[in-house]
Amino acid sequence: MRLDKFLVECGVGSRSEVKKYITNNEIYVDGVICKDNSKNVDEKETLVEYLGRKIIYKEFRYYKLYKVDGYITATEDKKEKTVMELLPEWVNKKDLFPVGRLDKDTEGLLLFTNDGKLAHELISPKKHVDKIYRVILRNEIGEGEIDRLEKGVDIGGYITQPAKVEKVNEKEILLNIKEGKFHQVKKMLKAVNNEVTYLKREIFGKLTLEDMQPREVREIEKEDIL
């Protein structure tokens, strides 16, 4: 891989920034200043240093995104904008894919990784990973409906697993589910004669949106997730 690409993918800076570091003699390759942007670097073998710091190429990468409305969860699509387009240049997109799925109009937390094993665990219903959604509703919700959502509702031939509901106000709830069927939250609310007008995922496993802004992306560690 080219040195400049390597540095961008390791998060050292944008393409123009890393080119500047190279021009300014700030990048060492195998102990020697390297002025060649296109120098071939072996991700595992070559010692690359910037400001005395060893730059490490990660085999497995994890990023969280604050998804916004209007993007479908897919790696590519002929017609629609995909969540991949929300990832900035510094994100190493090689083999990266979104874990699970948020609808085009759903906002909030979406994880990306190239770690297929972890992704599989996270979406497996057996793993019981918490997903908490903020749901704004068309109609007011009563205790009876909350009780039904918590016990399980029929979403078209499938009875949902027990869930937890926290009522924020008459038309807003936090819904905690451990599974992720297609359009699950929207179907659950439909099953209790209501309708979702806004949906945002705020928690996924141990991950939260913290103080992230819409469209923001942060690199995270595997240990942050489960």
- The Cα diameter of the chain in Å comes to 70
Q: Is 183 in the site for ligand URA (CB under 6 A)?
A: yes
CB of 203 to ligand URA, least distance (A): 13
Rounded Cα–Cα distance for residues 73 and 96 (Å): 12
Q: Give exposure, 37-66, as e/b (b: 16+ Cβ within 10 Å).
A: bebebeeeebebbbeeeebebeeebbbbbb
Q: Is 92 in the site for ligand URA (CB under 6 A)?
A: no
Q: What is the Cα–Cα distance from 177 to 130, expressed in whole angstroms?
A: 6
Does 202 participate in binding ligand URA (rule CB under 6 A)?
Answer: no
Does 146 bind ligand URA (CB under 6 A)? Our answer is no
Question: Is residue 103 a contact residue for ligand URA (CB under 6 A)?
Answer: yes
Residue 131 · residue 178 · CB < 8 Å: yes
* Closest CB 127 distance from ligand URA, rounded Å: 17
Report if residue 113 touches ligand URA, rule: CB under 6 A. no
- Tell me if 209 contacts ligand URA by CB under 6 A: no
What are the angstrom distances between the C-alpha of 53 and each of 48, 110, 163, 219? 8, 30, 47, 19
Q: Is 199 a binder of ligand URA (CB under 6 A)?
A: yes
Whether 130 is a known active-site residue: answer no
Taking the complex as a whole, the smallest distance from the CB of residue 100 to ligand URA amounts, in Å, to 8
Which among 58-66, 116-124, 160-168, 180-188 is the span making contact with ligand URA, rule CB under 6 A? 180-188
Residues 10 and 12: their CA atoms lie apart, in Å, by 6
Residue 111 touches ligand URA, criterion: CB under 6 A: no
**Which residue in 77, 103, 115, 224 is the catalytic one?**
103
Question: φ, ψ for residue 169 (rounded to 5)?
Answer: -155, -170
Looking at residues 7 to 46 of the shown chain, list those that interact with ligand URA (rule: CB under 6 A).
none
Cα–Cα distance list, 49 to 41, 76, 221 (Å): 12, 35, 22
Q: Which stretch binds ligand URA (CB under 6 A): 10-18, 98-106, 140-148, 216-224?
A: 98-106
Name the residue type at position 115: D
For position 178 contacting ligand URA by CB under 6 A, the verdict is no
CB of 135 to ligand URA, least distance (A): 9
For residue 43, the one-letter residue type is E
- What part of residues 54-83 is at the interface with ligand URA (CB under 6 A)? none
Which amino acid is located at 202 in the chain?
A: E
**Residue 179 binding ligand URA, by CB under 6 A:** no
**Residues labelled as active-site residues:** 103
**Site residues (vs ligand URA, CB under 6 A):** 102-103, 106, 183-186, 199
